[in-house]
Copies of this chain bind each other. A is one copy, B any other.
Amino acid sequence: MLLLRRCCSLTRCGPISTRRLKVAPAVTSCAARFCSSGSEDQSSYQCANWKHILAGLLAGTGAVLVYSQHRHKAERADVSVTITEKGSLLPVFSQDEVTKHRSLEDGVWVTYKGGVYDITEFVAMHPGGNKILLAAGGALEPFWALYAVHDQEHVLEILSEYKVGELCEEDLKKQQASKPSDPFSSDPERHPVLQVNTLKPFNAEPPPEILSDSYITPSAFFFKRNHLPVPQLDQASYRLQVEGLPQGVLSLSLEDLKTKFPKHTVTVTLQCAGNRRGDMNKVKPVKGLNWGVAAIGNAKWSGARLRDVLLAAGFEPGVAQWARHVQFEGLDKDVTGTSYGASIPLNKAIGEEGDVLLAYEMNGEDIPRDHGYPVRVVVPGVVGARNVKWLGKIVVSAEESSSHWQQQDYKGFAPGTDWNQVDFESAPAIQELPVQSAITVPADGAVIHHSDETLTVAGYAWSGGGREVIRVDVSLDGGKTWQVAQLRSGDKGQAPEPSPPPGRAWAWKLWEITAPLPPEAEELEIICKAVDSSYNVQPDTVPPIWNLRGLLSNAWHRVTVRLRRD
């Protein structure tokens, strides 16, 4: 039964890539042969033959062969088997045997809690892309400790389908003895008000109503979006490398950044590409952290301009002849030593109006560890993912960052594109974000008393690319009629921030509207939608912008409140 499911899955995922397409007929016929080969004499198959058969077939066929073979062998041949919890018989492998399967050609095997899994087939379907190959031949545990998104029942269910054997007891004990210490053990303390999405790495957002209470989001309440453990960095030994320019490498200390370049302060809203993913999950499940509306915040960032640093490192107009991108590498690393990385277009990095900062202060203080201490890039108007924290290296390059997060993540796709079809090369890396707004008050499901007579609705609105929010429309009747909200660029009773020059509106606007409660209503569907200076608007509904990673969720925000008379 499981085999049949695997066969179906194989056929279904045929068109994953050109190379895989070519082998699809072979796979199908092999699978069919094994499905119907129960009466054939399988005794000639020996354990030692497996590798040869695997080597003779391309990725994806291995799993089917291995699995069907060990079913037959378990019944007839003299191989070492064990009885699993579910009572099925599975072969036992040594760690050495597992370690031989570290590529699509040789098969991709991993271990997890003493089980051996051939995940060759799954590599192309992995939401995290080829990164999964880092675990090939070894244990999944240290990776899953890093990427806690795997700690979900459906992930274990998927894994279970790929089980091909058990790890021999001796090697399992060794593995358990060498269990690494928790890589997140030195993460900083966080404020308990934060709503945690994952603890390791730490991903959390504040309660939405906090956002509209303060034009500048206090650092403690600013959403945290970490991909890896927070590195322990020392101000004195910190060095930033600037590479790729004709003059060679420039190495800067924190002191250099603070003293050799003018200090600029820019108020910038940062938003996670996955903000409001929860709305997409309601339409159809997506892969990613289930953010609410508060994976966004507005802070005053201070530091050196990236432009100034690049000029000091030798950037001159001739560089623009061949360079196209500026890459950033974080000092946060996974177990293999791979850093978080991203890049932005060169013209954004070097432009006088790009306002890209190498920031060492957030809201007037040293940047907190969760936000990139001692230095992070702040790329105004651009998705959070490119605002690399714990910045270690800047590379001027003809190429985009090759990092997983630039190439295999943080891209948008059509609603019809699923994990079997998705081609990450077909979409550009998200840079500027689209226009966004959300209601922070009242909360969805809130109960309002008719005695209040009026209702105040508040929220935030922001757009990427420096496009200023020029209007927010609010409806209390599910979109039938609209009122224009009051916008503000500062706290109530305080002077607003000065108007930004055109195309450089990096900060959000808070908005509010107070309206009479409709006397007869029992329920209100409240909606907000923003318009930016390019007159782009938010789409009405979620399904037409749904995408498999749940990114760019910027449909009208809707909350429903109930009205009570008692």
Contact = CB atoms under 8 A, between A and B. Distances in A.
A525 interface: no
A414 interface: yes
A501 B347 CA distance: 9
Q: Is chain A's binding surface mostly helix, strand, loop or mixed?
A: loop
Contact of A540 (B412, B417, B481, B539): B539
Given A434-B534, A470-B427, A533-B428, A482 B539 contact: no
Contact of A471 (B347, B427, B434): B427
A470 B414 contact: no
B544 A540 contact: yes
16 contacts: A347-B503, A414-B482, A416-B484, A427-B471, A431-B533, A432-B533, A434-B534, A434-B535, A465-B465, A465-B534, A529-B544, A534-B536, A537-B544, A537-B545, A540-B541, A540-B544
A526 to B, nearest CB: 14
A471 B413 CA distance: 9
Given A347-B503, A483-B416, A433 B534 contact: yes
Contact of A473 (B351, B414, B467, B502): B414
B432 A534 contact: yes
A479 B541 CA distance: 11
Contacts of A465: 465, 467, 534
A417 B473 CA distance: 11
Given A353-B347, A415-B473, A538 B539 contact: yes
A479 B539 CA distance: 13
A49 to B, nearest CB: 44
Given A427-B471, A529-B544, 20 more contacts: A345-B503, A347-B502, A348-B502, A348-B503, A351-B353, A412-B535, A415-B482, A416-B481, A416-B482, A416-B483, A416-B484, A427-B470, A432-B467, A432-B533, A435-B536, A464-B534, A536-B536, A537-B544, A539-B539, A540-B541
A473 B345 CA distance: 26
A102 to B, nearest CB: 35
Interface string A135-171: 0000000000000000000000000000000000000
Contacts of A430: 535
Interface of A: 345, 347-348, 351, 353, 412, 414-417, 427-428, 430-435, 464-465, 467, 470-471, 473, 479, 481-484, 501-503, 529, 531, 533-541, 544-545, 552
Contacts of A351: 353
A187 to B, nearest CB: 31
Nearest to A320: B501
A537 B347 contact: no
The 10 closest A-B pairs by CB, nearest first: A432-B534, A540-B540, A345-B502, A434-B536, A536-B536, A434-B535, A535-B552, A416-B482, A414-B484, A537-B539
